[in-house]
Structure formats: C-alpha cells, structure tokens
Amino acid sequence: MKIAVCIKQVPTREWQPRIDDSKRGVREQDASFEMNEPDAYALEESLRLREKHGGEVVACTAGPARASQVLREALARGADRAIHVEDDRLTSVGADPFVVAGALAEAVRGDGFDLVLTGLQSDDQGTAQTGVILAERLGVPHATIVMDVQVQESSVRVKRELEGGWFQWVAMPLPAVITIQSGINQLRYATLKGIMAAKKKEIRKVTPALPPPRTTIVGLDVPRKTKQTRIIPGPSAEAAKELVRALKDEARVIG
C-alpha cells in the first residue's frame, strides 16, 4: 500500500503571536514552529497502516524552505521519503486552502497513491478545507473527521465522528483521501535511531505553479479584553440591592 500523508508547519502553541507590519500575518522572525498536531495523528495512522499492510509512507508538505523541518521530523518518526512543495508564497498570508490543496495535488498526482491522509484542520487557520479540496482536485472520494480506518483489497472502510456523539461508517473505493481526527491513536516520537536514519532519506523538492488564492486575509488584530469586574462593597443586604440595581439599570439584563 502506498500512502501519502500531508503535514503542515505551524507556529508553536506556546508562542505568543506578534502581528507584522502588514497587519495580515505574524512576525515569523520572532516565531518558533512545529508540526501541526492534527497532521501528527494522520502521520501516525499512516505508519500503522503500513505496518499492517506493507508498502511505503511518503510525507508531503507545501510551504517555504523552513517547512522542511516537519518533513525531517516525519522521516525520523518512520516515513520512508518526503516531498516538499517549496515556495515562499505558501504561507498563511500568501496561500489559502485552495492554493495549498492544488499545490499538493500536483505533487502527488503521478505517484499512484492508494491513500492520502491529512489532519482534520490546521492549528493556525483551522479551516478544515485543505483535505476536502485536495480530494476534489485529485478526483477521488473522501471522508472527513475519521476515527477508524480499515483497509480492504480495493476499498477502505472508515468511521466518521458526527455531532451529538453519533458515528457513521462509510465504505469507499481506493484511491481516496481521508482527514484524520485528533486522538485517533497514540502518537509515537522520533528515536535516536530514527533521527539518524532520517538524514539519509530522500526529500524531493517540487516547484509548483500556484493559482491566485480564492480568499484574502484583510487584517489581523489581537483580541482585547472587553469585560470588567466590579466589586460591590458593604453589608450583604445593601450589596444585593445595589447588584440588582446595576443589573437592571446599567447592564439591562433584568427587567
């Protein structure tokens, strides 16, 4: 079985974002980056499928030169080789899910993959659209929010998470695209042996022809606190009367 897993490099969750001078992105020179956590679960699922069915796992990313960091990490965790769709415009400001999915589709189209896995969504933008658009660009069936994957000879059966605690089983012919829900498995981490082996594994660079994005970031702003806490002093009976008055006359939340 031949599996492609799409991973994204995103700012670390612990980092406090700083908006750049354009007001449309963050100051990358101040940021630290890591593998998108939902994509890490997709990578782990691809490795488990290879262990069960044989074949190879190819890690793919679309991003600037710095994104090779997550490919090296994927190789250290066990991926066989990697594809880097490299372009400085493939950032959260320069590329929307339509552009990223198109770039990834062109990179994986000719390799004859049986399955293409992605995380459900990215930690930085959270649109949950890249995997869906990728399936459409490749012309193959897809399923989203997948909690279990069962591969058969020429098809795949997946368990989708729905709202309200419900689940849905869906069967699709191969090849197919699947977006993986976080928590589907227990993540493995790179060993020293894996890190050393990753240095010898292939990372093929691809230069994409990028279409114009369908969406544009107009501006970013840091959330501001709008609520205030007010302490009402005095005896409890008087404080209660004042609270009722403030809720009625000032906040206007009671009649």
Whole-prediction pTM: 0.83
> What rounded mean pLDDT belongs to the chain?
91
pLDDT bin (cut points 50, 70, 90) of residue 130 is very high
- What number of other Cβ atoms are within 10 A of residue 161's Cβ? 17
Please report, as a single letter, which amino acid is at residue 202: E
**Pairing status of strand 142-151 against strand 155-161:** antiparallel
The stretches of the chain forming alpha helices (DSSP H) are 37-53, 68-77, 97-108, 130-138, 192-198, 236-245
The angle subtended at Cα 151 by Cα 146 and Cα 152, nearest 5°, is 145
Residue 205 has pLDDT above 90, yes or no: yes
Q: What pLDDT is attached to residue 212?
A: 85
pLDDT tens for 151-189 read 988 999 999 999 888 999 999 999 999 999 999 999 998
pLDDT tens, position by position, 1-60:
999 999 999 988 888 778 888 888 788 777 889 999 999 999 999 999 999 999 999 999
Q: Is the pLDDT of residue 141 over 80?
A: yes
Predicted confidence at residue 126, as pLDDT, reads 87
Separation CA 23–CA 69 (nearest Å): 26
pLDDT at 251: 81
Q: Which of 133-147, 195-209, 211-225 has the lowest mean pLDDT?
A: 211-225
Residues 111 and 97: their CA atoms lie apart, in Å, by: 22
Checking if the pLDDT of 61 tops 90, the result is yes
Residues 6+ apart with CB under 8 A from 168: 159, 160, 162
Separation in Å, CA 192 to CA 25, 75, 111, 174: 35, 12, 30, 35
pLDDT (0 to 100) of residue 185: 93
| CB neighbourhood size of 77 (10 A) | 22
Give me 191's structure tokens: 């060993």
Q: Is residue 255's pLDDT more than 90?
A: no
First to last CA, the chain: 66
Give ranges for CATH 3.40.50.620 in the chain. Answer: 2-206
- Provide the pLDDT for residue 219: 82
d(Cα 34, Cα 187) in Å, to the nearest integer? 15
Q: What is the pLDDT of residue 228?
A: 76
Please tell me the CATH code under which domain 2-206 is placed: 3.40.50.620
Paired strand residues for 158 = 149, 170
* 91 close to 202: Cβ distance less than 8 angstroms: no
